[in-house]
Amino acid sequence: MAFPYSIQGAVTLSSVAQASVTVTLRNERTNETISTTTDANGEYILDCANLASGYSTGDLVTVFSIYTNYEDSESHTITTGGTTIDLALIVVPSSNTLRYFTVQNFY
């Protein structure tokens, strides 16, 4: 059983707390993820011990959120004691070169 390693923070958009936003943590070593949803105050808490394979000191994790047309992400190296990572959502830039394909486009 892994010891708790909490990562907590808040999600904001234009400095306003955002409720019901999904926040995901990915362990870059194992590619495993866990997710949660922000509360009414835009706050979240994730525990790396809830990753299926756990975590190791020195693992790089990325905390990210993609919400409608906004996103933010932060990376963190696990040490001891937990940390706070606040996410300030910014608009996803549009692209004239982005194209979507379906399976039918290839056959």
| Average pLDDT per 10 consecutive residues for the chain, totaling 107 residues | 88 97 97 98 97 95 94 96 96 73 61
106 — phi, psi (to 5°)? -100, -5
Q: How far is CA 19 from its chain centroid?
A: 15
* pLDDT value, residue 94: 75
The whole-model pTM stands at 0.85
pLDDT at res. 103: 67
Residue 82: predicted pLDDT: 94
Q: What is the rounded CA–CA span in Å between residue 24 and residue 34? A: 6
What pLDDT score does 101 carry?
A: 65
Q: Determine the pLDDT at residue 37.
A: 98
